[in-house]
Amino acid sequence: MSPEEFIAAYETALGTQSWKAVEPLVSENVGVTFSDGTVHMGKANVQKAFEKNFQTIKNEKYGVENVEWLVRNETYAVYLFEFYWTGIIDGKSVSGNGVGTSVLIKEGARWKLLTEHLGRKSR
């Protein structure tokens, strides 16, 4: 799997709204910052945060576009991207978008997410 293939697999995994699908793509030492500013450190805490989102946002569609690679080598990769999502919260259609930065590391033969920082787009 290449870093580009990782992004596609991560999008697909998030689309399942199942931690079982996401978990193999995440490092034990993962740290995630959501666009609301909350920070989640370590796989167990990230799992809780993702599962809460999966329960809150029904039928979520998540996508990544405009990926720009800062570094890509044999052991790590860093990229910037734009993201968007749509879903249903409390019976109402909702959507959002923003920008992100992710760092991938190679663990064994697999690429895994080490950190992801999501933020709002500047106006």
The domain in which residue 10 lies consists of 3-119
Domain count, the chain: 1
Provide the b/e sequence for 3-23 (b: ≥16 CB within 10 Å).
beebbebbeebbeebeeeebe
Query: What pLDDT tens digit does each residue of the chain (123 aa) get?
Result: 899 999 999 999 999 999 999 999 999 999 999 988 999 999 999 999 999 999 999 999 999 999 999 999 999 999 999 999 999 999 999 999 999 999 999 999 999 999 999 998 876
Question: Between vectors from CA 81 to CA 100 and to CA 28, what angle results, nearest 5°?
Answer: 55
pLDDT at position 10, please? 96
What CATH number did the domain enclosing 115 receive? 3.10.450.50
3-state class (DSSP) for residue 122: coil
pTM of the model: 0.92
